[in-house]
Amino acid sequence: MSSFSTNILILGKIGAGKASLVNYLYSQEIAVSRSLRPAAARGLHYHKPFAYKDINVVIWDTWGLEADKAQEWWTDLRDSLVQQSGNPDIRDWIHTVIYCFDAKRSRLDEYEKEHILKPLADMGYRIIFALTKWGLCSPDEKEAARQVIFREFPGFSRISVESVSQKLRNGTVTEQQGRDSIFREICLNLRENLTYHLRKQIRADMAAAVAQAEDASRTYFNENTSIFKAYSEELHESIQNVVRQNYREKIGAVYERLRSNLTLIDMMCVEVIRGYTGIDVSETLKNFYLLVESMNDIKVSLWDNDFDDYFVSSAMNTLFFGIYRFVQSNTYQKNLDNQLSEISAKLTQDLESIADTLDHAENKVAEDLSRILAAGNAV
């Protein structure tokens, strides 16, 4: 059994078929909301984890969407998603968003599009559009439903879904469809959503880390200098060592979180794809895993080699102008501030360079996984 749960958010207007879809996908009754929730139950609603094959699944839903409640609905959902994505453990984030769209309506309402779907996309969620009640649609309605999603959200997946098999008045019987296609998209979306939000988090972590390193370095400088203190070579080296250690500690923690979370995403990806499809993609992810592990070497190189160059080639080396004398402390403070800004900018630039490398590798991983899942076997 999986060591974590696949967290899936199901959204849609009242009557769009959320409950029917979930029950069809997992072949069991899950009490997904069918109507407007009371005020006390706003935001994301958590359903108890359940087992599906060899994986755990958690369904999240929210109170029903209506036109006159759109802004209130979105505010509650957004606040809940921000809180959820702020959880330090990525296993607790929302991994997949499925939006149930009643295909017989063949249109997206303005409030539905502008106040719900576009803001979700802007937050970085790759939405899976489940075109529900497909078996009840005429050919014209089916084409119109496909086109409206394609026109408004190009590049997002559109899955034709019939959750309930039923006999129509004309005697025809609708057949259930869409499960395998949605499971395939869940497998792909989990990785894409996680890596997008991880990159966003790591950038925020880096900004906080360099700020903390700068503050700690300034504090040490202020506590150990004054206008009445002679600036010696010993003090110069002491300040330099403290600055180096502050950055080592703070930035090193950022890189370690990035490395460990990318490794965790690989593990989750392998388990989810195996659970939903029976396909083992561990060999496919091997090269990406080796790239992630090599980040430790990148970090070691950064600290043991490049970092000293930040000092040698910068104003820090000439902080004392080659003369140890009594000079106003704010003169040194200004030089130190300039140097810290240079160091922080360089470290942030280095992170972006590594992120670009990872993005390129992730694009290749996404292509390989898409091809493997479409073919139905691993390579």
Residue type, 174: T
Of 80-84, 266-270, 278-282, the poorest mean pLDDT is in 80-84
* Whether the Cβ atoms of residue 344 and residue 213 lie closer than 8 Å to each other: yes
Higher-confidence residue: 86 or 125? Answer: 125
Of 142-146, 168-172, 191-195, the poorest mean pLDDT is in 168-172
The pLDDT of 30-58, averaged and rounded, is 71
What DSSP state is assigned to residue 298?
H
* Whether the Cβ atoms of residue 185 and residue 157 lie closer than 8 Å to each other: yes
d(CA 244, CA 248): 6
d(CA 93, CA 365): 21
Higher-confidence residue: 46 or 153? Answer: 153
d(CA 239, CA 186): 51
pTM for the predicted model, two decimal places: 0.84
Higher-confidence residue: 50 or 230? Answer: 50
pLDDT in tens, 172-216: 778 899 999 999 999 999 999 999 999 999 999 999 999 999 999
pLDDT for 11 beyond 70: yes
pLDDT in tens, 273-288: 999 999 999 988 887 7
Of 8-17, 195-204, 232-241, 326-335, the poorest mean pLDDT is in 326-335
- Per-residue burial over 178-211, b if 16 or more Cβ lie within 10 Å, else e, is bbebbbbbbbbbbbbbbbebbbebbeebbeebbe
Q: Using 50, 70 and 90 to split pLDDT, how confident is the model at 58?
A: very high
C-alpha closest to that of 264 among 124, 93, 127, 96: 93
